[in-house]
Amino acid sequence: MEQAALTFAKVSKVYDGAGSVQRYALRDVSFEIAPGTTASIVGRSGSGKSTLLHLAAGIDVPTHGSVAVHGTPLAGLSETGRTRLRRRDIGFVFQLFHLLPHLTVRDNVALPELIAGARARSFRERVTALLERVGLADRADDPVAGLSGGEMQRVAICRALLRRPRLLLADEPTGSLDDASGQMVMELMLQMVSEEGATLVYATHSRELAAMADGILRLHSGMLDPESGSTT
């Protein structure tokens, strides 16, 4: 049986508050996401959506419980090991793009390979193909600072998919866009993930965009709605 792309088993994340008070960002969350499927995460601000994604990426570690990516328990990895896993298997799309304004569109997409020290010829065709897919091939040599918000997010999606991650995580990827641009970006991301054979987990405030996923995880004050469905 194929391993789940993402598994949370009784995961809690607790932060120390004032005095001896503890604050639960997540409490006893369990679910599985099947490979090649899509899942949205919904909930009010502060419900734990970003915390869940950061734990899934190994950016943070749970206080209790376990997280596994394609069967690899993150708890068994060092910080360096989790970084290697992210570089190899996980892409991340942020709400505020996190692009470098002084670099061109092409170089922003290529950044993960440039950081890894790869030779340009090894990823040049991949960068061009991704930019063609999102309709920005003609802007490849333009400074990214001159793009619209929707165009910047398309560049960010290309960058996240550059190394062909098996799991793509997106934290409010349309939160900084108007409705029309957000809908277009979401549809494009879903299409590209399907074409790449990857798994997508994304957080959103939009009911309409959430409904585009195969399954919906609903968070309330850090707890998963029991009616939420895994995609396995």
pTM over 0.75: yes
Measured CA to CA, the distance from residue 83 to residue 78 in angstroms comes to 9
CATH class of residue range 6-98+164-224: alpha beta
**How many helices (H) and strands (E) are present in the chain, helices listed first?**
7, 10
Helix residue spans in the chain (DSSP H): 49-56, 79-89, 105-116, 120-133, 149-161, 179-196, 207-210
Residue located via tokens 């063609």:
132
Q: Would you write out the chain's pLDDT as a tens digit for each of its 232 residues?
A: 679 999 999 999 998 876 677 889 999 999 999 999 999 999 999 899 999 999 999 999 999 999 999 999 999 899 999 999 998 899 999 888 889 999 999 999 999 888 887 777 788 999 999 999 999 999 999 999 999 999 999 999 999 999 999 999 999 999 889 999 999 999 999 999 999 999 999 999 999 999 999 999 999 999 999 877 677 6
Measured CA to CA, the distance from residue 74 to residue 9 in angstroms comes to 12
Measured CA to CA, the distance from residue 88 to residue 76 in angstroms comes to 17
